[in-house]
Homo-oligomer: A and B are copies of this chain.
Amino acid sequence: MEKSEATTSIEIAETSRERKGKAALLSGVENEKAAGFKRGVAIFDLILRISAATATLAATITMGTTQQTLPFFTQFFQFQANYDDLPTFTFFVIAMSLVTGYLVLSVPFSIACIAMPLVVGPRLLLILCDTLTVTLATTAASSSAAIVFLAHNGNSDANWLPICQQFNDFCRRVSGAVVAAFIAVALLIFMVLLSALGLKRH
């Protein structure tokens, strides 16, 4: 009787250990799968981040260096167009350099997401800051787009004449900067959506 009890108690202990072992193995496989998915998302996020940073840098530099001096002048006046003649373009340069700075500074966090795919902290921080950045970039891009549209077409009702007929080169560069900004916005939106998907499967 004594001996039989001892045997069964050992049996119980073994069964419990076996069960625990199986559970750990199962959750380990699941974790491995989730980690793989999250790492893939994080790598894609890093690529998108670097592309977006390149696009915003290009937009900033293109806009910031835009100026055109017309080859003819009167006795008192030389016709010159500079990006900071229009306050909206100045805002564009400031906002886009801020976005570029943020994107460059956020690269280490994105790398941290690749290294530790199951840690939620850096990913959540990135998605929050990215959402605000998308809004800032969109504001800069679309307000400048409105002004560029006006510069190209003018508005007869408000009696605003198109300036692109004279400042052809100026308008072309500014339009290029706005297009680059919109490409960056599209990449950023895609980044936020991807991060939200990556956050889900936890």
Chain A residues within CB distance 8 Å of chain B: 1, 4-5, 8, 11-12, 15-16, 81-82, 85-88, 120, 124, 127-128, 131-132, 134-135, 138-147, 149-151, 155, 157-161, 163, 185, 189, 192-193, 196-197, 199-200, 202
Complex CA gap A189/B139 in Å reads 13
Cβ B138 vs Cβ A196 within 8 A: no
Main secondary structure of the interface of A (DSSP, over half): helix
Complex CA gap A185/B160 in Å reads 29
Given A127-B196, A147-B150, are A135 and B138 also a contact pair (CB < 8 Å)?
yes
What's the number of copies of this chain in the assembled complex? 2
Complex CA gap A185/B142 in Å reads 14
Q: Return A33 CB to nearest CB of chain B, in Å.
A: 16
Q: Which residues of B contact A86 (CB under 8 A)?
A: 155, 157-158
Complex CA gap A101/B138 in Å reads 21
Cβ A157 vs Cβ B81 within 8 A: yes
Q: Return A27 CB to nearest CB of chain B, in Å.
A: 13
Q: Which residues of B contact A157 (CB under 8 A)?
A: 81-82, 85-86
Q: Return A191 CB to nearest CB of chain B, in Å.
A: 10
Query: Could you give 14 example pairs across A and B, Cβ below 8 Å?
Result: A1-B4, A4-B4, A4-B8, A82-B157, A85-B155, A128-B196, A131-B196, A135-B138, A139-B141, A139-B142, A142-B142, A144-B146, A158-B163, A159-B163
